[in-house]
Amino acid sequence: MTAQSPAGATRTPPEGVGLAEDDRVRRVELLISRLLRTGVLLSLLVVVAGMVITFARNPDYFSSHAQLHPLISTGAQFPHTPTSVIRGLRHGSGPAVVMVGLLLLIATPVMRGGQLDVPRPS
Amino acid sequence: MTPLEFTLVAFGVSLGAGLLGSLLGLGGGIIVVPTLTLLLHVPIRLAIGASIVSVIATSSGAAAAYVRERMTNLRVAMFLEMATTTGALTGAYLAGVVDTRWLYLIFGLVLGFSALAMFRKRLHDLAAVVPSDRLADRLRLHDTYFDQAVGEEVSYQVTGTKSGLGLMYVAGTVSGLLGIGSGALKVPAMDLAMRLPIKVSTATSNFMIGVTAAASAGVFFARGQIDPFVAAPVAAGVLVGATGGSRLLGRLHSSVIRKVFVVVLLWVSIEMLLKGIR
């Protein structure tokens, strides 16, 4: 991966920082970059799968005009606690699968936070 | 409208919002919320919940590229994230308690400001001599980045850490309150107050937007503001649109797009204000 970067070769380490640390920072940067990309793609796949399940299990969503309002109004019912998401998953509910995807997406930028501890000065 | 039609239309308009947002250098959120509320009559709280999720998707996608190109200052990002996430939690809390009327009004104002801010982009960086900042020295926030336009490594000094923190708290609050990335507030704060080069400011702002949005998204999730039926097509649409937009960006004359759409955005901002006043 490092070889692909045009900046990788020309970068000079900041004053007082050894080459070893610079390499380490670079590795962390690439790791974060991959983590973010994978997280976004994976969660989006889960979201799309959840929507497919939702429509497959509710054939009237294709034709009924009356079905829409309860789904997108202020009092709409959908899982919004970890337990209700898990319960929904057990019943194979589409919205619960969508929620898992969305929670995965929310967790993506948080997960990369853990990687950041490495380049700190010791 | 049937649920299927809604899903397709929401995906379509979010795709457009993501495309437009990335062409204009604004996030998708600031365009997607008015579209959902004004066009599709989605309640503003649900629109904000869907938007914040899409903000995470686009900012993480962009951040992945910027970090790989080493334009992001990770240390500055970590430092400022303390302020942006605290702000985001404040904003997300406020979003649940204030009257929706205020959400429309504040949204209209921020949208208007962001639209006008697109014209005030500085062409050159400020003077190279920056006042020294002890906190920035201690945390070793100074860094270098590779500028592709100049073709060389550019080193820079960071200053104004305290005012930076203050401004980031405000930006985070706006982000959590309105479900937008609020990059339009973060970039000037880093660029003007902390004197980071504009490219580093943009990249670092993008990086922070993800964590900031995740903080408020957690609150929105628990409160039941993230409706899967709205959030799914919006997140997918904005992400696809923004990815397409960043590919198109190099081939279009952005000054022309800017002039056309600043008018559209100002008009949308007035519509949002009116909805708050009525």
**Contact state of B235 with A14 under an 8 Å Cβ cutoff:** no
- State whether residue A45 sits within 8 Å of chain B by CB: no
The three-state DSSP-derived secondary structure of B51-93 is HHHHHHHHHHHHHHHHHHCCCCCHHHHHHHHHHHHHHHHHHHH
Q: How far is B49 from chain A (nearest CA, A)?
A: 11
The alpha-carbon gap from A36 to the nearest alpha carbon of chain B, in Å, equals: 6
pLDDT band per the 50, 70, 90 thresholds, residue A103: very high
Specify the pLDDT at position A8: 41
Q: Read off the pTM.
A: 0.82
- Closest Cα in chain B to A55: B4
Contact state of B74 with A63 under an 8 Å Cβ cutoff: no
A10 touches chain B (CB under 8 A): yes
Q: B105: part of which helix (H) or strand (E)?
A: helix B100-117
Instruction: Tell how strand B152-156 and strand B143-147 pair up.
Output: antiparallel
pLDDT tens-place string over residues A76-97: 788 888 899 999 999 889 999 9
Alpha-carbon distance A97 to nearest alpha carbon in chain B (angstroms) = 9
Which residues face B153 on adjacent strands? B146
Residue B159 pLDDT: 83
Contact in structure between B158 and B194 (CB atoms under 8 Å):
yes
Residue-wise pLDDT tens digits, B95-143? 888 888 988 899 899 888 877 776 665 545 555 567 778 888 888 888 8
Which of B37, B74, B216, B240 to probe the A interface (max A CBs under 10 A)? B74
Q: Does A88 touch chain B (CB under 8 A)?
A: no
Pairs across A and B, CB distance < 8 A? 168
Distance CA B269, CA A44 (A): 30
Nearest chain A CA: its distance from B256 CA (Å)? 31
ipTM: 0.83
Q: How confident is the model at residue B218 (pLDDT cuts 50, 70, 90)?
A: very high
B79 to A14, B163, B199: CA distances (angstroms): 19, 13, 18
Report the phi/psi class of residue B195: left, alpha or beta, with left for phi > 0 and alpha for psi in -120 to 50: left
